[in-house]
Amino acid sequence: METRAENPPNGRAAGDAASAKKLGKRMEKVGHTAEQVWDRTRDSFSDFGDALDVKGRVDRHPFGTVAAAIGIGYVLGGGLFTPLTARIVRLGVRIGVRLAVLPLLKQEMAELVGEIEGEEDGKARATSKRTRTRGDEP
Binding test (CB under 8 A) with another protein, winner from 20, 27, 84, 89? 84
> Residue 51 CB, nearest distance to another protein (Å)?
16
How many whole angstroms separate alpha carbon 17 and alpha carbon 53?
A: 53
Least distance in Å: CB of 67 to another protein? 8
Among 8, 15, 24, 71, binds another protein (CB under 8 A): 71
* CB-based contact 21:28 (threshold 8 Å): no
How many Å apart are CA 73 and CA 76, to the nearest integer? 5
- Contact call for residue 59 and another protein (CB under 8 A): yes
Which parts of 88-127 interact with another protein (CB under 8 A)? none
CA distance 96 to 103: 11
What does the chain come to in residues? 138
Which of the ranges 8-16, 25-33, 82-90, 128-136 carries the binding residues for another protein, by CB under 8 A? 82-90
Closest approach of Cβ 68 to another protein, in Å? 8
Q: How far is the CB of 89 from another protein (least distance, A)?
A: 13
- With beta carbons less than 8 A apart as the criterion, state whether 110 and 103 touch: no
In angstroms and rounded to an integer, the radius of gyration of the C-alpha atoms of the chain is 43
- For residues 70 and 105, give the distance between their C-alpha atoms in angstroms, rounded to a whole number: 35
List of residues contacting another protein (CB under 8 A): 54-55, 58-59, 62-63, 65-67, 69-85
